[in-house]
Amino acid sequence: MRQKLEEIRERAAKELEAATDLAAIEELRVKFLGKKGELTAILKQMGGVAPEERPKLGQLANEARGYIEQIIADKNEELQKAALANKLVEEKIDVTAPSKRRKLGSKHPLTIVLDEIKDIFIGMGFDIAQGPEVEWDYYNFEALNIPENHPARDTQDTFYITEKMLLRTQTSPVQIRVMENKKPPIRIIAPGRVYRADTVDATHSPLFHQIEGLVIDKGVTMADLKGTLELFVKSLYGEDSQIRLRPHHFPFTEPSCEIDVACFRCHGAGCPLCKGEGWIEILGAGMVHPKVLENGGVDPNVYSGFAFGMGLERVVMRRFNIDDIRLFYDNDLRFLEQF
């Protein structure tokens, strides 16, 4: 029996040594130590052993069990370590490898310049106002002193939705909406999309952007208009820029003017950029017409104000030397990535 125990120990050690996976080890555990295993089978033969031999043999059998259990535990650990090491190699991440480049979006050129313009006016105490792009004829024309059959309506080829509803042709309707909702003093700019049924070419688009301005308070004069817009132009185009006011006509301002900036390239001498004029028109403005104040619910005997409106696209085109307005709306990444 001693021999048998010895033989089992050796065989178990050998076979476990050869085992290469956890399932094989479990199989061997059952084979040697299980209820029907070889060691158990031997212990069952204890009955046939002389009583004085039994304690000794029992001890040997326990040692054999302990020994085999130990090998199994060692082997298990060894295999688990190997599996882990293997996994670490297989799943290794090279943190120094170059990563995939993730493209970051950038601001649209119209947004870049609009943000700048907003900052300038916010710095002067203006708020940002908004109005709907689908507008009533009333706000876009009627309340702005452009009655039905007024020739000014023809100059703004309007997209009508119904007889009374349209796509706004200018941001000026926001003037009325602001006056309706807020008591003076009022100091706002209202940037947004406007629509005109123009034929598309390098300088015309049926959708473009305007920035409206409106200031109403007691005692506001043309001098405030000039001072404000001069400061604006100097902030946008540089301290040495010059402006001039040219008489003009808008139905909703009286008096009205257009404001030109001295050409950035020739400074007034005349060149291709300013088409020989020496000056570049950048906005329309004027003192808010008393009828328009009234339409907005503001008493023209108490308050006065000025308003202005400018196109954003042309400012941006000059800033970045863009020669075709359509580039703004094509969403061509080769264009957009340059900003």
Binding footprint of ligand PHE, residue count (CB under 6 A): 10
Please report where in the chains the tokens 């555990």 appear, as a residue. 29
Q: Is the dihedral of CA 76, 78, 84, 89 positive or negative?
A: negative
- The minimum distance between CB 311 and ligand PHE, in angstroms, equals 8
Which long-range contacts (C-beta less than 8 Å, at least 24 apart) are formed by 201-205?
Answer: 202/323, 202/324, 202/325, 202/326, 203/325, 204/325, 205/313, 205/325, 205/326, 205/328, 205/329
In the bound state with ligand PHE, the residue whose beta carbon lies nearer, of 57 and 216, is: 216
Nearest to ligand PHE of 191, 286 (CB atom): 286
Please select the residue that binds ligand PHE; options are 117, 167, 188, 285, rule is CB under 6 A: 285
Residue with smaller CB distance to ligand PHE, 32 or 250: 250
| Calpha distance 37→33 (Å, rounded) | 5
Chain centre to alpha carbon of residue 177: 30
The residue written with tokens 């970045």 in the block is: 320
CB of residue 117 vs ligand PHE: minimum separation in angstroms?
15
Please identify, among the stretches 25-33, 68-76, 132-140, 279-287, the one whose residues bind ligand PHE according to the rule CB under 6 A.
Answer: 279-287
Other C-beta atoms lying within 10 Å of the C-beta of residue 306: 23
Q: List C-alpha distances in Å: 23 to 14, 26, 88, 126, 275.
A: 16, 5, 22, 78, 89
Is residue 139 a contact residue for ligand PHE (CB under 6 A)? no
Binding mask 94-113 for ligand PHE (x = CB under 6 A): --------------------
Residue indicated by tokens 């650990």 = 77
Q: Least Å distance between CB 277 and ligand PHE?
A: 19
Partner residues linked to 280 by β-bridges: 261
Burial class (CB in 10 A: 0-12, 13-18, 19+), 108: middle
Could you give the string, one character per residue 298-317, with x where binding to ligand PHE holds by CB under 6 A and - elsewhere?
---------xxx--------
250-269 residues near ligand PHE, rule: CB under 6 A: 250, 253
Tell the smallest beta-carbon distance from residue 332 to ligand PHE (Å). 28
Q: Smallest gap, in angstroms, from Cβ of residue 309 to ligand PHE?
A: 3
Residues facing 15 on adjacent strands = none
Options 131, 286, 296, 305; binder of ligand PHE; rule CB under 6 A: 286
Nearest distance from residue 253's CB to ligand PHE, in Å?
5
CA distance 71 to 114: 77
Stretch that binds ligand PHE, among 100-108, 176-184, 262-270, 282-290 (CB under 6 A): 282-290
Query: Residue 313 Cβ, how far from ligand PHE at the closest point, in Å?
Result: 13
Q: Is the dihedral of CA 51, 52, 56, 57 positive or negative?
A: negative
User: For residues 153-182, which are near ligand PHE according to CB under 6 A?
Assistant: 170, 172
Window contacting ligand PHE (CB under 6 A); options: 85-93, 105-113, 120-128, 281-289: 281-289
**Would you say 16 or 146 has its CB closer to ligand PHE?**
146
Q: Which of 321, 329, 113 is nearest to 236 (CA)?
A: 113
**Cβ–Cβ < 8 Å for 76, 26:** no
Instruction: Please identify, using beta-carbon distances, which residue of 8 and 288 lies nearer to ligand PHE.
Output: 288
Please, what is the minimum distance in Å from the beta carbon of residue 210 to ligand PHE? 6
Rounded Cα distance between 185 and 216, Å, is: 6
**Footprint of ligand PHE on this chain (CB under 6 A)?**
170, 172, 250, 253, 284-286, 307-309
